Structure 1
Amino acid sequence: MKEENLIFIISQPRSGSTYLQNLLSNNDETNTCSEPWLLLYFSNQLKPNLFEAKFDNKIAIAAFSDYLEKHPSINFNEEQKTFLLNLYKPLFEGYKFAIDKTPRYWEIMDEIIALFPNCKMIILKRNPLNVAKSIIKTWNINSIPKLSYYKRDLLFGPKQIHAFSEKHSTNHNVYTLRYEDLIKDTAEEIKKVYEWIGITYHLGVPDTSNNKKYKGKFGDPYQNSEKPFGEIKTENKQKALNKMFKDFLIGYENYLGSEFLIAYGNYKVIEVKQKQTRAFNYFMHFRNNGKNGINLKKEFKYLFKECFYRLFK
């Protein structure tokens, strides 16, 4: 097992990462599994300020740092690296390469590359507006509070992904790919990625019907479906968004800005007269997400707006 043969696929959720994982593991050299979230489980050691706990995490971090200072013989970074690489060992049994596809690694991209500087990282971009649409349709989101569970993914994900991609534009271990390009010309785009990684490409790679490596409990909810990918994609596309979510998308586009969307992936912007929208402002009032951190007073204040929008479904 070599660090340089460890591959990470990083993106926003609903950006096509499962499909890319499927394509990249459709060979005899590469292994993968359903989203392991392995490194996120140890995020308190990788990126402490990302982690919250019922105990005082800041004091815990300070105390542990003090312990390491008192015992300089402990090379914690190397110990941690060895430990984490050992957790990936089962994926390498009988294979040269191993893929960890966990979209929310966008939260710890800098930490991953600092820990594994020789690993390969694939940054998969998709138009954030289409990401939002896919989240709503795929997970059957029917209210703004429920959509706010994905608040960090929508507000911070694209900008952090783009900043990392720009920062590492000359890093030969980082590869940036657009989902739209992958779908438009799958064979050509995936062949380029195979060549970049060093995997032998064959003409049967785009036909992933027999590949089961990526399937599991977590990840794309359609991955265990017997329906072909194209059929699922068509069904999802045909689902209509109600007026509330259309209103949200106008505000979300304004939040991202035309300049960013063009820089992010040369994505076209629909110019609209109305920039600030009530649905997006409603979305923004949540402190964290739809499961935790809801401000009840504000929730009651905005509740009538939710009722109003439901009239236009």
Structure 2
Amino acid sequence: MIVDGKNLADWQGEELIFLICQPRSGSTLLQRMLGEHADILVLPEPWVMLHPLYARRREGIETEYDHSLALMALDDYLRRIDTDGDALFDEAVKAWAWCHYRAALADSGKTLFLDKTPRYYFIAEDLQRLFPRARFIYLLRNPLAVLRSLLNTWIQGNWVVFSNFHHDLVTAPGKLLAAAARGESRRCLLHYESLVAEPEATLKRLCDELALEFQPGMLRYRGSEKLAGGFGDPVTVDAHDRPVGDYAEQWRDLAGDPQRRHIAHAYLDALGDPLLQQLGYDPEALRAALGKPPRIRGDIIPWERLIDPGFTGIQPKRSKLRLAWRVLRGRPLPQQDGC
């Protein structure tokens, strides 16, 4: 397939850098720093590769038009029009990517585009296959720090939405490690804690592993209109102009609240000690810092309920007592809208 004189069958993504991680892992900080490189263009999270690659996924996607039927029809269509329908679809996806990334780089004066989309952990294997000459950065962070940031930023005590982030918490770490260990692509696995503690040494290693020129200007970053208002974490990042270690140990305050301490212990259990060690963290030290798990009482919502997509919250104790009193007295229950 030829697009703008480019043979997409031969295009291997040389102009692309993918930054993949758990959400709330510090990727906005790293993006800001890489954005100071003379050759790298950064924009807010594009998310452009998820939709085309999920078109042929059998799970993980729901649509109004019935995705399962669409998938069967698409597979049948590809078989009928080409002896290698998979390769044809891959070329079409690469054409989609080429049009988007080419448009981003046009007139920018840059030669490389950084696509920072944390949830690409779902499609990292596909991206490696489609773009074997792209550069991949896998950013890891202490899982408890990720959890704390998520609780403070997106959940804020609204436990009904907790299950929305189950994949970000539990699925992502294993997928990141698997992707970082796979393929022949230019790739770098680094830790947020190293980035803020030793930014120069960490960036030099990153540049060396990705065949990039290290530029000292990356150690300090500026605000950018191109990044304003987009996805990411502009609050803490824009409060500084360089990496700081102020946030690296804040996860320890999870121990101060019984509900959060319960979630933190359950989260570590869900990940398991082998995975935590592969991520580069000491499970025993993490648990010791949290203290003893709290006893599950009526005011603590168990992890199993929180990760259940059907969880709708808990009624206040007073409401429960009032309903029980009505039942005991033989009084009718109050009517609710929609019942």
TM-score, normalised to structure 1's length? Answer: 0.82
Aligned: 1:256 with 2:271: yes
SS at match of 1:37: coil
For the 8 Å contact 1:18–1:214, the answer to whether it is kept is no
Query: Deviation at 1:181?
Result: 1.3
Aligned: 1:11 with 2:34: no
In the other structure, the counterpart of 1:130 is 145
SS at match of 2:147: helix
In the other structure, the counterpart of 1:91 is 104
Distance 2:188 2:56 in 1: 22
Matched to 2:186, the amino acid is N
Distance verdict in 2 for CA 1:113–1:191, change over 3 Å:
same
In the other structure, the counterpart of 1:157 is 172
What 5-or-longer segments of structure 2 have no aligned partner? Answer: 1-5, 321-339
Distance verdict in 2 for CA 1:233–1:42, change over 3 Å:
farther
In the other structure, the counterpart of 2:212 is 199
Q: State the aligned residue count.
A: 294
SS at match of 2:219: coil
Distance verdict in 2 for CA 1:126–1:227, change over 3 Å:
closer
Matched to 1:199, the amino acid is L
Query: Deviation at 1:233?
Result: 4.7
SS at match of 1:161: helix
Distance verdict in 2 for CA 1:228–1:205, change over 3 Å:
closer
For the 8 Å contact 1:11–1:125, the answer to whether it is kept is yes
Distance verdict in 2 for CA 1:55–1:200, change over 3 Å:
same
Distance verdict in 2 for CA 1:87–1:44, change over 3 Å:
same
Aligned: 1:42 with 2:52: yes
Matched to 1:25, the amino acid is G
Distance 1:243 1:229 in 2: 34
Query: Deviation at 1:20?
Result: 1.0
1:281 to 270, 280, 304: 304
In the other structure, the counterpart of 1:120 is 135
Matched to 2:37, the amino acid is N
For the 8 Å contact 2:28–2:237, the answer to whether it is kept is no
Query: Deviation at 1:88?
Result: 0.5
Distance 2:223 2:75 in 1: 49
Q: CA-to-partner distance for each residue in 1:52-91, whole Å, 9 max, x for gaps?
A: 1122211110011111111117722212212211111133
Larger RCO (CA within 8 A; separation ≥ 6): 1
SS at match of 1:100: strand
TM-score, normalised to structure 2's length? Answer: 0.76
Query: Deviation at 1:175?
Result: 1.5
Aligned: 1:78 with 2:91: yes
Distance 2:246 2:103 in 1: 33
What 5-or-longer segments of structure 1 have no aligned partner? Answer: 288-293, 309-313
Distance verdict in 2 for CA 1:156–1:142, change over 3 Å:
same
Matched to 1:197, the amino acid is L
Distance verdict in 2 for CA 1:157–1:183, change over 3 Å:
same
5 Å matches for 1:158-177? 158-168=173-183, 171-177=184-190
Distance verdict in 2 for CA 1:282–1:121, change over 3 Å:
same
